[in-house]
């Protein structure tokens, strides 16, 4: 498990805002890469390709 503190995550402009002058900011707490399971390749997988 990887611990990430919310205070370490930067605020970014919301997608509908002007990036240079945002009125709304957001923090992205989870991304697809945080949630997906790591895939391991076994010898059986390599033989079936």
Instruction: Tell me how far apart the alpha carbons of residues 10 and 24 are, in angstroms, rounded to a whole number.
Output: 13
Q: What is the pLDDT of residue 12?
A: 92
Model confidence at 19: pLDDT above 80? yes
Report residue 16 as tokens.
């509908």
Q: ∠ CA(25), CA(30), CA(34), 5° rounding?
A: 150
Between CA 17 and CA 11 the distance in angstroms is 13
Q: Which residue has the higher pLDDT, 46 or 23?
A: 23
């Amino acid at each position: 498990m990887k611990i990430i503190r919310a205070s370490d995550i930067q605020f970014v402009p919301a997608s509908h805002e002007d990036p240079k002058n945002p009125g709304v900011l957001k923090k992205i707490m989870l991304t697809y890469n945080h949630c997906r399971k790591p895939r391991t390749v076994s010898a059986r997988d390599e033989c079936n390709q």
